Amino acid sequence: MKTKRRFIGAAITSASLLATAATLSPAIAKSTVVVGATETISSHNPHGDSISMGYGIWCQVYGCLGTYSFKEGTYVGMLAESWSVDKADPNVWTFKLRQGIKRHVDGKELTAEDVVHSINRMGTDPQTRQKQNVKHVKSASVIDKYTVKVVTKKPTAPLLEFLFDRVMITGKDLFDKHGAKVADRKYPLGWGPYKLKEIVIGQRIVLEKAPDSSFAKPENPDTLIFRIMREPEQ
């Protein structure tokens, strides 16, 4: 197994993580990528930090509505297949989810209930540090199994900047059954291309590719290891 070491600064986004994985050739698909980072997440709660590395890592595990494509210069969908703003009422946004997206391990399908739950949780979780990402949202509701309606407090053209790769989509069923703390720590199951293997707070975060994920590509590394290298002043 080959290992590549990459040392990057604090500004790691989900888009850059995907780009890093995608640049690896099929010849080294059985590989580990080690990333040196100066930021670290402080808990198993995907809403418990507001740092770029955290957003990037959790998006790979839980999945997010979309990411920013530097190549295309715009946002592209991940769990969201399409989105639109109501012409008659610019406060109303509609998000259509991809159908048939299965969760790691148990195969539970992604639904609009999971998305609405996650948007609401971001603003109400006692440990959240991400309320600013939903500050423009007045309400989020389920239209049907694969459709979410988001109503903003006022017309918000840059809404995708706040929601797309910032809202991690966690399972409503696991939250309802186990509660936030147990679900986050013992059942970190999502719809992204990677599974969470290990978190040692302040030391390392290890992700393993989910072979059954709709977003896991053959050329992506099998393992991503984030080694925390905190500077003295931190």
pLDDT category of residue 186 using cuts at 50, 70 and 90: very high
pLDDT at 16 over 80: no
Let me know: does 123 contact 163? Beta carbons within 8 Å.
no
- The answer as to whether 86 is a domain residue is yes
Q: In 129-228, which ranges are E strands?
A: 137-144, 147-152, 194-200, 204-209, 223-228
CATH number of the domain that residue 19 is part of: 3.40.190.10
Let me know: does 34 contact 3? Beta carbons within 8 Å.
yes
- The answer as to whether 146 is a domain residue is yes
Domain ranges, residue 70 = 2-228
Radius of gyration of the chain (CA): 17
- Within 13 A of 30's CA, how many CA atoms are on the CB side? 1
70-118 pLDDT, tens digit per residue, is: 999 999 999 999 999 999 999 999 999 999 999 999 999 999 999 999 9
Give pTM, 2 decimals.
0.85
Let me know: does 210 contact 192? Beta carbons within 8 Å.
yes
- The answer as to whether 233 is a domain residue is no
- The answer as to whether 234 is a domain residue is no
pLDDT of 54 reads 92
Which residue, 160, 219, 215, is CA-closest to 33?
Answer: 219
- The answer as to whether 11 is a domain residue is yes
pLDDT of 231 reads 65
Q: Across the chain, what does the average pLDDT equal?
A: 88
Which residue, 48, 45, 56, is CA-closest to 14?
Answer: 56
pLDDT of 6 reads 35
21-51 pLDDT, tens digit per residue, is: 444 444 444 799 999 988 888 999 999 999 9
